[in-house]
């Protein structure tokens, strides 16, 4: 079970605490003053971003990504869901020998969590938990708010450097150096990571499915065929499948729409135009 404290989680927690207090007590204070109107506004805005980042981080860390029910068995005669994932060799339905269970579509066994995870994207060491069916949305939203927080803090850092005060050149020099070494690479990494997951979301793919799709595409091309990702329903349908049907809630930690995670609509389903995950 993920969500336990680990060295990686401690590092993330310390970084969050350091960035928050250095941003408020040093950058905002030196640039505007904490008691001024601009200082209060920037403090409130950055605190909101920090709270959203932390809350979504905790939700992603402690939410079970989704387990395969012991009673699950694929219904090969279900005409409404004609696509059943099979093993690469042999043509048999996917079966996990370690869990002794059939694997639902898009599920994979995590060797770290030691169980099969529904719609597994990857195991995140920074959360000590898998990112899967039930927590992918809050994970995605966490990355969004974490990136906004880092960019906002970096802007405040640069802005406070324009203010010529004795304090900014003396006792806070180490704060600026450490913050810069944290914020610049972190902003770049989160930006690339968010861009990657936006790309995956637009195609309704997981990280695992992307790499499996690359292999499938190469095999298909060798046979003179064209590979098509079966869960790609179109950009808008893909977005609402992953982020929810209400656009206003896309950046909110709301995921009551996600369904069981045992079946997913595909482009080959008779009712592929529906907007909910079954």
**Catalytic residue ranges:** 124
Angle, CA of 181, 16 and 179, to the nearest 5°: 20
- Nearest Cα neighbor of 15 from 192, 189, 134 is 189
267: left (phi over 0), alpha (psi -120 to 50) or beta: alpha
- The Cα–Cα gap between 75 and 81 comes to 9
- Nearest Cα neighbor of 170 from 30, 38, 74 is 30
Terminal Cα-to-Cα distance of the chain (whole angstroms): 25
| CA trace torsion 106, 230, 238, 201 (10° rounding) | 60
Question: And the tokens for 231?
Answer: 């869960």
């Amino acid at each position: 079970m993920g969500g336990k404290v680990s060295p990686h989680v401690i590092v993330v927690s310390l970084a969050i605490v350091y960035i928050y207090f250095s941003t408020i007590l040093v950058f905002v204070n030196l640039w505007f003053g904490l008691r001024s109107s601009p200082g209060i506004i920037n403090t409130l805005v950055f605190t909101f971003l920090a709270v959203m980042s932390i809350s979504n981080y905790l939700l992603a860390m402690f939410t079970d990504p989704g387990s395969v029910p012991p009673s699950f068995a694929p219904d090969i005669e279900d005409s409404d869901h004609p696509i059943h994932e099979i093993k690469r060799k042999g043509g048999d339905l996917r079966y996990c020998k370690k869990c002794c269970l059939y694997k639902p579509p898009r599920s994979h066994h995590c060797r770290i969590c030691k169980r099969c995870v529904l719609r597994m994207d990857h195991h995140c060491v920074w959360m000590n938990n898998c990112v899967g069916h039930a927590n992918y949305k809050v994970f995605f939203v966490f990355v969004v708010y974490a990136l906004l927080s880092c960019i906002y803090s970096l802007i405040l850092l640069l802005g406070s450097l324009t203010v010529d005060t004795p304090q900014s050149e003396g006792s806070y020099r180490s704060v600026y150096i450490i913050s810069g070494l944290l914020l610049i690479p972190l902003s770049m990494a989160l930006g690339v990571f968010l861009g990657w997951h936006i790309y995956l979301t637009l195609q309704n793919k997981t990280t695992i499915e992307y790499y499996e799709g690359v292999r499938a595409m190469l095999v298909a091309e060798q046979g003179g065929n064209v590979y098509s990702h079966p869960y790609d329903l179109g950009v808008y349908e893909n977005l609402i499948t992953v982020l929810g049907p209400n656009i206003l809630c896309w950046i909110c930690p709301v995921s009551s729409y996600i369904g069981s995670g045992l079946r997913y609509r595909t482009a080959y389903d008779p009712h592929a135009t529906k907007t909910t995950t079954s």
